Amino acid sequence: METRGIPLLWSIDDRNRLVHRKATGHVEKKSREMLRLELASGRRLELASDQQLRKLEGWVPVAELVNGSRIGVLRRLGTPVDPQPMDDSEVILLAHMIGDGSCVRRQPIRYASVDEANLAAVTAAAAHFGVTPIRDDYPAARVTTLRLPAPYRLARGKRNPIAEWLDRLGQFGLRSYDKYIPDAVFALPSEQVSLFLRHLWATDGSVRWDTKTAQGRVYYASTSRQLIDGVVNLLLRVGVQARVTRTRKAGYRDCWFLSIDRAANQVKFLNEVGVHGARGVAAKAVVAELAGRTRRPGTDTIPVEVWDHVKALMAERSWSDKDFALATNTRLDGPRMWAHCPGRTRLHRLSNVLASPLLHDLATNDIYWDKVVSIARIGRRDALSWVFRGDHPVVVGGVPVRDPGNQTAQAPAAAPRALQSST
C-alpha cells in the first residue's frame, strides 16, 4: 500500500518497537564493499561495512562487530497495511505443493503423502480449480500419490489450471532444492499465514516429544535454503522465532533444518498455528507435556551489558548487592549475579522493582538479541538502496539496518518485496 503515493516501510522506533515509516526518495543500485555475517540463529546477512546494526548500547557499524557481538533482529513482523488474501483452497494447495508436490515440466502434476488427512486436504483444494485427483496407491512404498490432471482436454493455448496458477506464483517447474515462498504469501493476512504454515508443516515438518531429553522437537526440513529463510520470516508474522542449521552427507544435497526451540516458543506455535493431519495429534501431545513446566529463557535473553544500567539505578538508591537481592527476591551470589544474561521475564520483574522505563522497554520490545558467529569479507557487490530523508533504520529480511552516512536503507537485490516493505 502507498500513502498518497509514498510507500510504507517497516522500521523500529527509539524504543525498539516495530513501526511503519513513510519512505520518501528513490531506489538506486550501488556497488559497495560487503561483509557476510552468520548469526547463531542461522541467519545470514550481507551488508556494507559502514552500515549499522543495533546493539544494546546503540547503532554500531558492521565493520566494528566481532564474533560474539549480540545484535538486534526482529522477534516479530507485523501484518501488511493492505493485506492481499487468497482463497483458502489456494493457500492450502500451495502449502502442500511446496512441501510434497511435484510440478516439473513435461511431467504430470503430482502430490505424494502417507497422511490421509493431507490427501483429503489436497483433494478438496484441487476442486477449487475444477480438478479431480486420480489416486495411485503404492503399498510397497507406503505412500499414496495424487495426480492432478486438467479438467478438460488440453489444446493449443490451454494449460492445466493448477500449472497455470503455480506458474503465476513462480513455482511451476521448480525442483525441491529450488523452491521458495512466493511474495503473495507474505502479503496474506495473518490468519492465512497461519493456515499456510499449518499445512506446510504437515508435509516436511516434524513435531514430537523427545522422552530422553524431556523436550519438544519441532522442526521443518528442506534442501532449499531460500525456502527455509522464507519460512523463518513467515514465522515472525505469528511471533515465533526459529533457528536454522545445516546437515551434510556425502553424495547428497545439504539439508537445512528450521527448529523452533524453547518451550514458550513451541507452545505459541503449536497453539496459535498448529499442524494439519497426523502431526497435529503429536502437536497436542507436546503441548500437554509442556503444560505446567518451568520455562527457561534459553537464548531469548538481554545482553549482559544491561547490568550496567541496573547498577547505575542501584547507585542512585545507594543500594548494595545485598539490598538488590532482597528487593528483587534473588540469591546473593557475589560477582556471579552480574555474569549471566537475564531473560525477558526476569528483566520485566526488575523493571517494576526499580521503576525503570528503559528496563521495561528492553523486556517487552520487538527485538531478539542474536549473536554473531562469523564475519567474512565477500568483496564488492551490487545492492538495491532506498534513498530517503532521515537516518531511520529499515527492516530487511527481519533485521533492522541503518545507514545514516549515505541516508540509504540497503537490501540485497534478490530480497522479496514483502520483506522490504509493509505494503
As given in the structure block, the three cell numbers for residue 72 are: 538486534
Per-residue pLDDT band for 81 (boundaries 50, 70, 90) equals confident
**Boundary of a domain, candidates 147, 178, 209:** 178
Q: Please indicate, yes or no, whether residues 99 and 55 belong to a single structural domain of this protein.
A: no
User: Above 80 in pLDDT, residue 175?
Assistant: yes
The Cα-based distances of 311 to 1, 124, 318, 323, 335 in angstroms read 46, 61, 10, 12, 12
As given in the structure block, the three cell numbers for residue 4 are: 498518497
**Boundary of a domain, candidates 178, 203, 222:** 178
Which has more confidence, 399 or 410?
Answer: 399
Residue 74 lies in a domain: no
**HSE-CB of 132 using CA atoms within 13 angstroms:** 2
Per-residue pLDDT band for 72 (boundaries 50, 70, 90) equals very high
Average pLDDT, the chain: 90
Question: Closest by alpha carbon to 264, among 348, 358, 344?
Answer: 344
The DSSP secondary-structure symbol of 82 reads: S
Q: Please indicate, yes or no, whether residues 51 and 98 belong to a single structural domain of this protein.
A: no
Question: Closest by alpha carbon to 229, among 220, 238, 216, 217?
Answer: 220
Q: Please indicate, yes or no, whether residues 96 and 53 belong to a single structural domain of this protein.
A: no
pTM of whole model > 0.85?
yes
Residue 377 lies in a domain: no
Question: Closest by alpha carbon to 380, among 27, 32, 6?
Answer: 32
What residues contact 88, with CB distance under 8 A and at least 6 apart? Answer: 192, 195
Q: Please indicate, yes or no, whether residues 54 and 154 belong to a single structural domain of this protein.
A: no
Question: Closest by alpha carbon to 241, among 225, 256, 221, 260?
Answer: 260
Q: What is the mean pLDDT of residues 52-63?
A: 95
Q: Please indicate, yes or no, whether residues 108 and 53 belong to a single structural domain of this protein.
A: no
Model pLDDT, residue 156: 77
Residue 7 lies in a domain: yes
Amino acid at 28: E
Lowest mean pLDDT among 5-19, 222-236, 375-389: 375-389
Q: Please indicate, yes or no, whether residues 27 and 92 belong to a single structural domain of this protein.
A: no
Model pLDDT, residue 25: 64
Residue 214 lies in a domain: no
Q: Please indicate, yes or no, whether residues 99 and 4 belong to a single structural domain of this protein.
A: no
Per-residue pLDDT band for 332 (boundaries 50, 70, 90) equals confident
Beta-bridged to residue 339, according to DSSP, are none
Residue 333, SS3? coil
Which has more confidence, 337 or 41?
Answer: 41
Beta-bridged to residue 138, according to DSSP, are 143
Q: Please indicate, yes or no, whether residues 418 and 313 belong to a single structural domain of this protein.
A: yes
CA 25, 30, 35, 36 dihedral sign is positive
Model pLDDT, residue 113: 96
User: Above 60 in pLDDT, residue 2?
Assistant: no
112: enclosing H helix or E strand: strand 110-113
**Boundary of a domain, candidates 178, 206, 237:** 178
User: Above 70 in pLDDT, residue 405?
Assistant: no
Q: What is the mean pLDDT of residues 145-166?
A: 91
Model pLDDT, residue 412: 40
C-alpha 192/C-alpha 206 separation (Å) is 21
Model pLDDT, residue 385: 67
C-alpha 90/C-alpha 102 separation (Å) is 16
Residue 260 lies in a domain: no
Model pLDDT, residue 283: 96
pLDDT digits (tens, 9 = 90+) for 29-44: 788 889 999 999 999 9
As given in the structure block, the three cell numbers for residue 105 are: 515440466
184: enclosing H helix or E strand: helix 183-186
Task: Please report, rounded to a whole number, the percentage of residues in the chain having pLDDT higher than 90.
Answer: 74
Model pLDDT, residue 22: 81
Give the residue carrying C-alpha cell 533492522. Answer: 400
What CATH number is associated with residue 102? 3.10.28.10
Residue 420 lies in a domain: yes
Residue 253 lies in a domain: no
Residue 384, SS3? strand
Residue 159 lies in a domain: yes
pLDDT digits (tens, 9 = 90+) for 351-371: 999 999 999 999 999 999 999
Task: Please report, rounded to a whole number, the percentage of residues in the chain having pLDDT higher than 70.
Answer: 91
User: Above 90 in pLDDT, residue 406?
Assistant: no
pLDDT digits (tens, 9 = 90+) for 89-99: 999 999 999 99
CA 363 distance to own-chain centroid: 20
C-alpha 71/C-alpha 157 separation (Å) is 53
C-alpha 146/C-alpha 171 separation (Å) is 18
Per-residue pLDDT band for 6 (boundaries 50, 70, 90) equals low
Domain enclosing residue 172, as ranges: 88-178
C-alpha 379/C-alpha 369 separation (Å) is 27
C-alpha 336/C-alpha 177 separation (Å) is 47
Question: Closest by alpha carbon to 47, among 68, 24, 71, 26?
Answer: 71
Give the residue carrying C-alpha cell 504437515. Answer: 202
Quote the crossing angle between the two packed helices 344-354 and 321-328, to the nearest 10°: 110
pLDDT digits (tens, 9 = 90+) for 245-254: 999 999 999 9
Per the structure, the count of domains in the chain is 2
User: Above 60 in pLDDT, residue 172?
Assistant: yes
Q: Please indicate, yes or no, whether residues 167 and 104 belong to a single structural domain of this protein.
A: yes
Quote the crossing angle between the two packed helices 116-126 and 88-100, to the nearest 10°: 130
Kindly provide the b/e burial profile for residues 376-401, where b requires at least 16 CB atoms within 10 angstroms of the residue's own CB.
Answer: eeeeebebbbbbbeeebbbbbbbbbb
